[in-house]
């Protein structure tokens, strides 16, 4: 009877512990990323007793009660609910976020992160989310706390980028011959340029003008223009001359103050009888500052198949810019001419289509009788301030800036374990690694064995109401029955004690 009291007491204790697990699950039914636990009971030791004189063959065992066994965490995914920020993150699949504070690392499924005014991405407990910094498109191998550089004003700025490549394709069907120079009709505008006059090229000295924008080394917008004029025709083919120039007042090169101030490049475009671009030539202005000296106009260099010119602004280093008009060149920008002056004596070099040039899908044309801009693209941009953030499924944090540019800033890391059942609960939705769980293995979201990351989404608790209420009823019944065992055994002891009286 004494043993039955003890056994009943163990049942009370173990079921009380089981009820603690159930109530903890239910109390965290709305906790972000919470994983429910399950009590597994076990029996205590048994004592042996003989049942007859033959104790060697008839052994019986009497159990000594129950005890709380292992409390297992169920790492099944919870439901997903809508978040209010791009930094509300959920993991659709396996893995944990890594967070760090004071050099200590924890792991969590709760993705309710927010940026502080200093740019640190923290969870509600002040732990910093871990990831890889990305600089100029290159991902660092080091895993560090995510810390945005928001600058002294807290805006998070992107520095401006100088233009290195410019695409300017135009429809030039309406270009006429407004500037005729019999000595060299292919470079009449270049010869007429006067950077000391205002305007440097009078309105009647060109047929069509197209404004373009450049960005200097500091990201400032600089205005330039391309002037077009018909140079001549040959068997249905059209040769058009062009001049690329800045406002002479913005020219910071050695040509500043001379007649060549503002000039960047001049050349010709050749179109077939159907209006398709077939050849491009390009020459850079004389260093002497005398645009009419056509023998000093030298063939331009090539940058990625496009003729290039050099622009210089006051107080800044010169920048080389490739100008793409729709034809990818190879080898030369001069059609075999040593200088611009040679075009007068060898017009066939201008009118002939280039055999080695490749026509692009977007190119200048000379259809019909109209003039307009077809395509303008510029790889430069001004300084911009951070407007919004996006988190992709592979964990990349992308910033969108006021200048229309996007930049990859960080890539969030995920972690997995050999035995996640061995993780230790640290409270605050955190877990820590233990010898039983094994060391954390870092990986990229969306790859093998790692779930994808979803922005504007939070993983809810995976507590199953029906299961927990059923478990609560069963646990209560078990506790009730064990309490009845204790009271019944006590009554039996009382009755046994009364036998002495």
pLDDT in tens, 297-345: 999 999 999 999 999 998 899 999 999 999 999 889 999 999 999 999 9
Question: Residue 379: its pLDDT value, please?
Answer: 93
pLDDT in tens, 392-428: 999 999 999 999 999 999 999 999 999 999 999 999 9
Is the CB of residue 455 less than 8 Å from the CB of residue 89? yes
CA 444 – CA 109 distance, rounded (Å): 16
Task: Give the chain's mean pLDDT.
Answer: 91
E strands, 219-361, are 221-234, 237-246, 263-271, 277-284, 298-299, 301-303, 306-311, 319-324, 327-328, 358-359
Helix, strand and coil percent figures for the chain, each rounded to 5: 20, 40, 45
Using DSSP bridges, classify how beta strands 319-324 and 165-172 pair: parallel, antiparallel or unpaired: parallel
Question: Residue 41: its pLDDT value, please?
Answer: 83
Q: How many CB atoms lie within 10 A of CB 441?
A: 13
Decide if pLDDT at 114 tops 60.
Answer: yes
Phi and psi dihedrals of 276, rounded to 5? -90, 140
Decide if pLDDT at 355 tops 90.
Answer: no
pLDDT in tens, 135-191: 989 999 999 999 998 877 777 889 899 999 999 999 999 999 999 888 899 999 999
Whole-angstrom CA distances from 500 to 230, 323, 482 are 133, 116, 29
**pTM of the shown model:** 0.78
CB-based burial of residue 334 (10 Å sphere; 0-12 exposed, 13-18 middle, 19+ buried)?
Answer: buried
Question: Residue 56: its pLDDT value, please?
Answer: 55
Decide if pLDDT at 28 tops 70.
Answer: yes
Is the CB of residue 321 less than 8 Å from the CB of residue 309? yes
Question: Residue 329: its pLDDT value, please?
Answer: 94
CA 413 – CA 431 distance, rounded (Å): 16
Question: Residue 66: its pLDDT value, please?
Answer: 80
3-state SS track over 6-44:
HHHHHHHHHHHHHHHHHHHHHHCCCCCCCCCEEEEEEEC
Tell me which of 72-81, 409-418, 491-500 is least confident: 491-500
Question: Residue 311: its pLDDT value, please?
Answer: 96
CA 302 – CA 390 distance, rounded (Å): 38
Question: Residue 1: its pLDDT value, please?
Answer: 57
- In sequence order, the 6+-apart residues with CB closer than 8 A to the CB of 110 are 31, 32, 33, 34, 97, 123, 429, 458, 459
Query: In the structure, what pLDDT confidence band is assigned to residue 485 with cuts at 50, 70 and 90?
Result: confident
Tell me which of 61-75, 209-223, 298-312 is least confident: 61-75
Is the CB of residue 89 less than 8 Å from the CB of residue 457? yes
Question: Residue 246: its pLDDT value, please?
Answer: 96
- In sequence order, the 6+-apart residues with CB closer than 8 A to the CB of 354 are 278, 279, 280, 327, 329, 335
Q: Is the dihedral of CA 233, 238, 239, 240 positive or negative?
A: positive
Question: No. of H helices and E strands in the chain?
Answer: 4, 36
Query: In the structure, what pLDDT confidence band is assigned to residue 294 with cuts at 50, 70 and 90?
Result: very high
For the chain, give the percent of residues with pLDDT over 90: 73
CB-based burial of residue 41 (10 Å sphere; 0-12 exposed, 13-18 middle, 19+ buried)?
Answer: middle
**Nearest alpha-carbon partner for 202 in 216, 191, 192:** 192
Angle between helices 2-27 and 465-498 (to 10 degrees): 160
């Amino acid at each position: 009877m004494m043993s039955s009291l003890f056994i009943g007491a163990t049942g009370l204790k173990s079921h009380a512990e089981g009820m603690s697990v159930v109530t903890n699950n239910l109390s965290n039914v709305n906790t972000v990323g919470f994983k429910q636990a399950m009590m597994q009971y076990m029996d205590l030791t048994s004592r042996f007793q003989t049942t007859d004189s033959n104790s060697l063959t008839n052994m019986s065992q009497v159990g000594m009660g129950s005890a709380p066994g292992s409390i297992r965490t169920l790492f099944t995914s919870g439901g997903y609910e809508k978040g209010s920020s791009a930094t509300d993150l959920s993991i659709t699949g396996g893995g944990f976020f890594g967070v760090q504070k004071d050099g200590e690392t924890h792991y969590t499924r709760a993705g309710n992160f927010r940026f502080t005014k200093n740019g640190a991405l923290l969870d509600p407990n002040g732990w910093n989310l871990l990831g890889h910094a990305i600089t100029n498109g290159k991902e660092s191998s080091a895993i560090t706390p995510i810390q945005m550089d928001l600058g002294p004003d807290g805006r998070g700025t992107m520095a401006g980028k100088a233009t290195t490549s410019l695409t300017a394709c135009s429809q030039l069907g309406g270009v006429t011959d407004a500037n005729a120079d019999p000595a060299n009709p292919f470079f009449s505008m270049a010869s007429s340029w006067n950077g000391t006059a205002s305007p440097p090229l009078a309105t009647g000295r060109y047929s069509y003008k197209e404004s373009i924008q450049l960005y200097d080394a500091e990201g400032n917008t600089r205005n330039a223009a391309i002037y077009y004029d018909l140079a001549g025709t040959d068997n249905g083919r059209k040769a058009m001359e062009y001049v690329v120039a800045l406002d002479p007042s913005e020219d910071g090169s050695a040509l500043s103050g001379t007649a060549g101030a503002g000039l960047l490049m001049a050349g010709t475009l050749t179109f077939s009888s159907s209006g398709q671009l077939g050849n491009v030539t390009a020459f850079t202005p004389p260093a002497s500052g005398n645009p009419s000296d056509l023998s000093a106009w030298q063939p331009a260099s090539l940058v990625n198949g496009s003729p290039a010119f050099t622009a210089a602004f006051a107080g800044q280093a010169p920048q080389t810019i490739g100008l793409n008009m729709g034809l990818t060149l190879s080898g030369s920008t001069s059609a075999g001419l040593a200088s611009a002056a040679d075009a007068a004596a060898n017009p066939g070099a201008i009118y002939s289509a280039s055999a080695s040039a490749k026509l692009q899908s977007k190119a200048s044309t000379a259809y019909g009788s109209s003039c307009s801009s077809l395509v303008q693209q510029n790889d430069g941009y001004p300084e911009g301030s951070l407007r919004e953030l996006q988190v992709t499924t592979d964990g990349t944090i992308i910033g969108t800036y006021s200048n229309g540019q996007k930049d990859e800033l960080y890539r969030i890391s995920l972690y997995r374990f050999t035995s996640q059942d061995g993780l230790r609960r640290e409270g605050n939705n955190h877990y820590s690694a233990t010898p039983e769980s094994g060391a954390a293995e870092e990986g990229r979201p969306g790859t093998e064995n790692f779930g994808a990351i979803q922005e504007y989404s939070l993983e809810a608790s995976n507590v199953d109401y029906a299961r927990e209420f059923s478990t609560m009823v069963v646990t209560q019944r078990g506790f009730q029955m064990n309490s009845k065992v204790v009271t019944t055994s006590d009554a039996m002891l009382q009755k046994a004690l009364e036998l002495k009286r």
